[in-house]
Homo-oligomer: A and B are copies of this chain.
Amino acid sequence: MDGGRLIALDWGSTRLRAFLLGADGTVLATRQSEQGASTLAGADAFAQALAAVTDGWPELQMLACGMVGSQHGWREAPYAPCPADAAALARQALQVDARFWIVPGLMHDGAQPDVMRGEETQIVGAFALHPELAEQACLVLPGTHSKWARVKAGRVTGFATHMTGELYALLRQHSVLARLMPADGSSAPSSQAFLAGVDAARKDGALSHQLFAVRTLGLFKRLAAEQLPDYLSGLLIGHEIANELKAATPERLALIGDPALCARYALALGRFGMDEPLQLDNTAPAGLWRLAQTMGL
């Protein structure tokens, strides 16, 4: 019987997910806790959260990725510079104690440096699951801070973060636009309004100007109140895509992350004439397994 070979941890800001992996990397068990890195302070708090989420599991090597390795995490792990492959990430992993390791983040240096923590591991997982992506691709990881990573010959050559999800939440909850909208989660999504927002963004106007249209379209009843959140979402995602495709149109593009959000991006990408992209759910367990193997854990 397979008692397990590795404990893999996807430890983000707001959530901790633990996976017991078997001898071939299969997920034998999954647990989840709300003890994300932003909810914890001090090494003891992290150690306790880890003990709680792995309680009763065998004493195996543990590899974690995500904000657990940030300045405000358990211990600050380094950032590996781009271009970087799985070997470079494995080499720079931080050992916290005899059994616990943290994957480094990834940095893309330049006039405006960019960083990720956790997504580098999802990217390695995507390589493991779909080796053709490692050859040459653009990997998009939508979210609070969406990442667009350019990949060639197994290495992440560069990437850009867009604060799309965070801007949406700020405008949805706190701005003058919020006052015209119904309470969050109270209405069915409208793809029509979402695509109208995407189409507006494709016209390449200023985002700070186009956002004001969410207000005026509501004011003049050209969109119903319950359509405004989707129009706003379409505008923001549309601007993100328009700008990234302007930088370079990839031949092969894949979406990684929450299926509903990836479906939204796929819909928007279609509006830009892109083929239906490959969509992958959380690839962090596969990435942690691959990195652990590379590290010889």
Contact = CB atoms under 8 A, between A and B. Distances in A.
A282 interface: no
Contacts of A205: 243
A208 B164 contact: yes
A240 B206 contact: yes
A71 B240 contact: no
A166 B162 contact: no
Residue from A111, A207, A208, A244 with most neighbouring chain B CB atoms (10 Å): A208
Interface string A233-253: 000100110011000000000
Interface of A: 71, 111-115, 145, 160-164, 166-167, 170-171, 174-176, 200, 205-213, 216-217, 219-220, 222, 236, 239-240, 243-244
Contact of A219 (B71, B163, B208, B217): B71
Contact of A239 (B176, B208, B222): B208
B212 A114 contact: yes
A205 B111 CA distance: 12
